[in-house]
Amino acid sequence: MPDLNYGAVGSFRESAPYRAIVASAGRWIDRGVDGLRLDAAKHIYSDEQGAENPAFWAGFYDDVNARYRETHADDIYMVGEVLSDAQHAAPLYRGLPALFEFSFWWTLRDRLNSGRGSDFCATVGSFRTLYEGYRSGAVAATKLSNHDETRAATDLGGDAGRMRLAAAVLLTASGEPYVYQGE
């Protein structure tokens, strides 16, 4: 699939592809959608760690949210998928209010499989502190696995006890939990 060319980050709002995706989001809003999941959010501009991607998403969020607020009192929900560790994903909070929390799952999986989890809360808490440095009120969209990863049950060796514990931690930890189909 070819990349869309949004042009330079300073003028992306004037590009035809950008106007088209904002219009498409508007059509979904008209159909009653109140949230959007944004796949591969770090891949809009080629430098995954550059300032361009957060700037793009900040503009997109602002433009789509303005359209949403024409008919709603609250803000639209947007969650970005950034398949990276917390350090590399965190800058995208400059542009989006919520990101899928891959480091949460990777940390939980490793602690459950090793049987040593005494540092789990402190480690996950450090992710939250990191995110808040980029966006006040940053939403960690916690999850176990997703369509880009091995399923949680496989990662946990099919162990029913570890799977139940993973689900319990997911549903009781801070953040907004997502349950992938079948988990």
pLDDT digits (tens, 9 = 90+) for 84-117: 999 999 999 999 999 999 999 999 999 999 999 9
The owner of tokens 């796949």 is 39
Catalytic residue among 3, 39, 62, 85: 39
d(CA 6, CA 55): 12
Catalytic residue among 52, 81, 101, 155: 81
Query: Is the pLDDT assigned to residue 1 strictly greater than 80?
Result: no
Q: What is the pLDDT of residue 99?
A: 98
- DSSP string across 149-183: S--HHHHTTT-HHHHHHHHHHHHHSSS-----TT-
Q: Give the pTM.
A: 0.92
62 carries an active-site annotation: no
Domains, in order of start, for the chain: 9-172 (3.20.20.80)
Overall average pLDDT of the 143-161 stretch: 95
Query: Is the pLDDT assigned to residue 7 strictly greater than 60?
Result: yes
Per-residue pLDDT band at 2 (split at 50, 70, 90): low
The secondary structure element, H or E, covering residue 35 is strand 35-38
State both tokens at 171.
């549903």
39 carries an active-site annotation: yes
Q: What is the pLDDT of residue 5?
A: 83
pLDDT digits (tens, 9 = 90+) for 17-66: 999 999 999 999 999 999 999 999 999 988 888 899 999 999 999 999 99
